């Protein structure tokens, strides 16, 4: 169960002088997540390709994967909405001089284990209610109404149904382009 939710803006700049930016935390009381929003070139970016790689886990132990290729004329901004990462995460400028700006939102969820007993009790109560619903008696079927009785009277008599059907009844004529009624010859 989560008791508190904390939001904080996250941003980092990658450039020729600073090729890496890292999102990490030492806080163990919260569950952390980085929700990325955008990655864009700065106003002073040269007309060259800027390739940004994403490294999850410790940067020394992992190979990064290219996340975005930005160009001042072609694609200066990338929408990264929907990408949620858990720390540690490192962004690395593999090619180009930047500046590249990465924006996102740091979300921290605080764990709350104090309400576990009450949650267990609620679940037990729900299970008992479900069992009671299962044990409830089956409702008797409805009696036939006057309309239903009339419909039953219009059906074929059982003697007629037992008689073997003739060949004409088994194979009705096929529908096709006939002369039809009232049409001239």
What is the full DSSP assignment across the chain?
A: -EEEEEEEEEEEEE-SS--EEEE-----SEEEEEEEEEEEE-TT--SS-EEEEEEES-TTT---EEEEEEBTTTBSEEE-TT-EE-S-EEEEEEES---EEEEEEEEEEEE--TTHHHHHHHHHHHHHHHHHHHHSPPPPPPPP-HHHHHHHHTSPPHHHHHSPPPHHHHSPPPP-----TT---
CATH numbers and ranges of domains, the chain: 2-111 (2.60.120.340)
Question: What pLDDT shows up at residue 112?
Answer: 62
Structural contact between residues 109 and 5, judged by C-beta atoms closer than 8 angstroms: yes
pLDDT tens for 155-180 read 555 555 555 555 566 676 666 666 66
pLDDT tens for 6-28 read 889 999 999 999 999 999 888 87
Question: What pLDDT shows up at residue 178?
Answer: 61
Question: What pLDDT shows up at residue 47?
Answer: 93
Question: What pLDDT shows up at residue 56?
Answer: 86
Is pLDDT above 80 for 96?
A: yes
- Which tops the pLDDT comparison, 90 or 141? 90
Question: What pLDDT shows up at residue 21?
Answer: 94
Question: What pLDDT shows up at residue 166?
Answer: 58
Question: What pLDDT shows up at residue 25?
Answer: 85
Question: What pLDDT shows up at residue 4?
Answer: 79
Terminal CA-CA length for the chain: 84
Model-wide pTM > 0.75? no
Question: What pLDDT shows up at residue 63?
Answer: 79
pLDDT-derived band at 126 (thresholds 50, 70, 90) equals confident
Mean pLDDT across the chain: 78
Question: What pLDDT shows up at residue 99?
Answer: 96
CA 27 vs CA 23, 88, 109, 128: distances in Å: 12, 12, 11, 40
């Amino acid at each position: 169960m989560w008791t508190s939710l904390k939001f904080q803006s996250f941003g980092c700049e990658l450039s020729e002088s600073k090729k890496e930016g890292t999102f990490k935390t030492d806080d163990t009381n919260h569950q952390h997540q980085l929700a990325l929003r955008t990655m864009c070139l700065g106003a002073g970016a040269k007309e060259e390709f800027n390739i940004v790689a994403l490294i999850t886990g410790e940067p020394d132990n992992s190979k990064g994967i290219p996340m975005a290729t930005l160009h001042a004329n072609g694609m200066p901004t990338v929408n990264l909405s929907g990408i949620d990462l858990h720390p540690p995460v490192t962004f690395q400028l593999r090619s180009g001089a930047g500046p590249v700006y990465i924006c996102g939102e740091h979300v921290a969820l605080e764990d709350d284990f104090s309400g576990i007993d009450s949650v267990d009790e609620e679940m037990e109560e729900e299970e008992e209610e479900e069992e009671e619903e299962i044990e409830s008696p089956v409702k008797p079927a409805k009696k036939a109404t006057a309309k239903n009785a009339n419909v039953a009277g219009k059906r074929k008599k059982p003697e007629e149904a037992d008689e073997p059907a003739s060949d004409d009844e088994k194979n009705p004529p096929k529908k096709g382009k006939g002369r039809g009624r009232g049409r001239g010859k």
